[in-house]
Amino acid sequence: MASAGDVLYLGALGTQALGSVLLAEGDLQGALGALRTSWMNWQELQAPYEAARIRVLLGCCCRSFGDEDAATLEFDAASLVFARLEARPDLARLETLRAPVRLANAPLTRREREVIVLVAGGRTNRAIARELGISERTVDRHVSNILTKLGLPSRTAATAYAYEHGLI
């Protein structure tokens, strides 16, 4: 029979996996919720190493949102734990993540750049969702984020931006 600790452990693993997948797919809101739940579970299980690894993922999520300050806080918290545990490989990996990403087409995330290229190609949200293997709702959120971040009024303006900035 499974104990409460076993169930909490499986929940922590499951939400960690879900958060990682959602982050990779560009569903930042979903990833943030799942990763926060996983972090709380690892904290309750008194598993500092696993909790620190989640904080690294949370930092990556915050960075994708464009919140560099929150990303730095998450990375700093993880770094303290890794240093205390003498987890040198994790510290080394974290140092590579700490440097802000400086892309030619910033402030868009990698997924947002993929979406804007497909928008500029005339694809509908449904077609983009099928091509990227994500939901239409997620595509809609990406398009909205793109328009907001770039201060653009429409998909047509986003298409013009993509051409002017060499995204296509």
Q: What are the residue ranges spanned by the domains of the chain?
A: 4-98, 110-164
Within 46-87, residue ranges assigned H as helices are: 48-65, 68-84
Specify burial of residue 3 (Cβ count, 10 A radius: 0-12, 13-18, 19+). Answer: exposed
| Confidence (pLDDT) at 105 | 46
pLDDT tens digits for range 141-153 = 999 999 888 888 8
* CATH number for the domain whose boundaries are 110-164: 1.10.10.10
Task: Return the CATH superfamily for domain 4-98.
Answer: Tetratricopeptide repeat domain (1.25.40.10)
Distance CA 98, CA 59 (A): 9
Supply the pTM of this predicted model. 0.60
Average pLDDT over the chain reads 87
What is the predicted pLDDT for the residue at 163? 80
The residues, any chain, with a CB within 8 Å of residue 33's CB and separated by 6 or more, are: 19
Cβ atoms of residues 49 and 81 within 8 Å: yes
